[in-house]
Amino acid sequence: MALTLFIGNYTYSSWSLRPWLVLRKMDVPFQSVVIDLDVPGYKDRLLELSPAGTVPVLDVNGERIPDSLAIAEFCAQMVPNLWPKDEADKVEARRVTQRMHEGFEALRREAPMNLKRRTDGRMPESCLKDAAQVVEMWDDLLSRHDGPYLFDEWSIADAFYTPVATRFESYGLPRSRRSDTYISELMSDEHFQEWEALAFAETHVLPETDAVNAP
Ligand SMILES: N[C@@H](CCC(=O)N[C@@H](CS)C(=O)NCC(=O)O)C(=O)O
């Protein structure tokens, strides 16, 4: 099976990071193709890949699957254990993953993923409110499992919250001790570190994203 994952820039594309992590955990060969965002003609390239004109898109033997969660579900059909084994955990993992996929709008807007950013300036209240809800949810899940991940073993839910963890680091968002330990776990994951190294090696910048809540 020939798999090609079309992604945005490593530094900024949180939606791309999620299925890329899932594919790395599957340990199947795949090719990544980066499309520089916000350059002339970039939208046409994206629209050639999917009607929504967004990345990520996974090409499977010439068939295209757009959307991070749809790609993750495709991967979960190929490889067991990308969702938790326990049925109740599986339902909850899908629920919290979907919550990330559709929610936390202020956190996404005010604290966009930006792996080279480190600031501890005051963040807008709406963003802090979303961040507090994320911490509450993480703390609840972590208190009911043995860790180190949300449902014990690494799952798609952790892939979906890894870009969120980077935002806590980049923007110095408040977190509990338990959530801080979880963030450290995600940040020290070998595959996340592989992605982060690619981000540090890339030179493309998105000035508008760099300007969001800049110090
Ligand atoms: N719901 C989509 C969202 C994808 C998305 O918004 N991707 C961003 C990059 S992180 C994008 O392609 N933006 C296109 C643009 O900026 O025009 C998913 O989960 O894949």
Is any atom of ligand 1 closer than 6 Å to the C-beta of 11? no
Give 120's pLDDT tier (boundaries 50, 70, 90).
confident
Domain coordinates in residue numbering, the chain: 3-80, 87-195
Q: Do the first three CATH levels of 3-80 and 87-195 match, i.e. the same topology?
A: no
| Atom number of ligand 1 nearest to Cα 8 | 9
pTM exceeds 0.85: yes
Asked whether the beta carbons of 15 and 108 are under 8 A apart, the reply is no
Residue nearest to atom 2 of ligand 1 (CA): 67
Q: What are the tens digits of pLDDT across the range 125-159?
A: 999 999 999 999 999 999 999 999 999 999 999 99
How far lies 85's CA from each of 92, 101, 109, in Å? 12, 21, 33
Domain 3-80 coded CATH 3.40.30.10: yes
What residue type is 17 in one-letter code? L
Structural class in CATH, domain 87-195: mainly alpha
Give the Å distance between the CA of 109 and the centre of ligand 1: 13
How far lies 168's CA from each of 3, 14, 28, 112, 176, in Å? 32, 13, 30, 10, 11
Structure tokens at 132: 């507090």
Give the Å distance between the CA of 54 and the centre of ligand 1: 4
Is any atom of ligand 1 closer than 6 Å to the C-beta of 37? yes
